[in-house]
């Protein structure tokens, strides 16, 4: 795997890899692990939005819906320009989840010397993520997230992905940037598949 990572790092430079998937599919878990392996910085739109909601005393996402695009642009896109991220590659967790936002995200990333070079989709069924949500509620390991409080809100998040985010992924696929990963397997195997497919992708692109 070390040789694969070396090739990926060389290809990626200060570019970005954007990870998508249904809620509970493991985006942040895999994103953090990938960032560590690549010496990259990790940016999660969910974490940024929840922090900004707390700071500004506003609630856009507590019912499970995506935040308005103008608020997303104001809160999230400026992170690409941060000086402390300038010399690092980035691993993104679902930056630009609403169809129509992807071009602005790609432009902001490219203008900040973090061009999006690949997009990863963690494929897992809605039934399986609901099972993960139920297990997480029993274990109480998701914190006090308002968008996770009940099954109705969680299902709203699934519907938002289905209607608003799937077209984003189609856009990335049409650009030849989408890498599909089987998210319904143990975490270590998911990560190994991510590295293996990123290596093949980087080799072809190089």
Neighbours of 164 (CB within 10 A): 16
Burial 27-52 (b: 16+ CB within 10 A, else e): bbebbebbbebbebbbbbbbebbbeb
Q: How confident is the model at residue 137 (pLDDT cuts 50, 70, 90)?
A: confident
What is the rounded (10 degree) CA torsion for 46, 130, 154, 94?
20
- Using an 8 Å Cβ cutoff, are 28 and 20 in contact? no
Confidence of residue 1 (pLDDT cuts 50, 70, 90): confident
pLDDT in tens, 48-62: 998 898 898 888 877
pLDDT at 166 over 90: yes
Q: DSSP secondary structure string, 28-79? A: HHHHHHHHHHHT-EEEEHHHHHHHHHHHHT--SSTTSPPPPHHHHHHHTGGG
Range of the domain at 185: 2-205
Q: What is the pLDDT of residue 66?
A: 87
* DSSP state at residue 22: S
Backbone angles phi, psi at 122, to 5 degrees: -85, 105
Count of structural domains, the chain: 1
> pLDDT, tens digit, for every residue of 52-92?
988 988 888 777 888 899 999 999 999 999 999 999 999 99
Contact, 49 vs 75, CB < 8 A? yes
Give the three-state DSSP class for 10: helix
**Of residues 23 and 197, which shows the higher confidence score?**
197
Residue of higher predicted confidence among 133 and 44: 44
CATH of the domain at 126: 3.40.50.300
Q: How far apart are CA 92 and CA 48, in angstroms?
A: 11
48: its two tokens = 């940024």
Q: What is the mean pLDDT of the chain?
A: 91
Q: Of all residues in the chain, what percent carry a pLDDT higher than 70?
A: 95
This prediction has a pTM of 0.90
Q: Specify the length of the chain in residues.
A: 206
């Amino acid at each position: 795997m070390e040789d694969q990572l070396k090739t990926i790092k060389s290809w990626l430079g200060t570019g970005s890899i954007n990870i998508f998937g249904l809620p509970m599919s493991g985006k942040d878990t895999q994103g953090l692990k990938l960032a560590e392996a690549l010496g990259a910085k990790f940016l999660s739109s969910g974490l940024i939005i929840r922090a900004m909601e707390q700071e500004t005393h506003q609630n856009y996402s507590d019912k499970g819906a995506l935040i308005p695009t103008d608020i997303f642009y104001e809160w999230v896109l400026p992170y690409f320009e941060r000086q402390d991220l300038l010399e690092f590659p980035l691993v993104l967790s679902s930056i630009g989840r609403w169809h129509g936002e992807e071009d602005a995200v790609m432009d902001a990333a490219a203008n900040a010397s973090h061009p999006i070079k690949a997009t990863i989709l963690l494929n897992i069924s809605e039934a399986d993520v609901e099972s993960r949500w139920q297990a997480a509620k029993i274990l109480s390991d998701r914190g006090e997230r308002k968008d996770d409080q009940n099954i109705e809100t969680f299902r709203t998040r699934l519907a938002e992905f289905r209607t608003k985010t799937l077209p984003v992924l189609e856009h990335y696929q049409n650009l030849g940037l989408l890498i599909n990963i089987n998210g319904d397997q143990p975490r270590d195997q998911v990560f190994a598949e991510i590295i293996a497919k990123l290596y093949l992708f980087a080799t072809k692109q190089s």
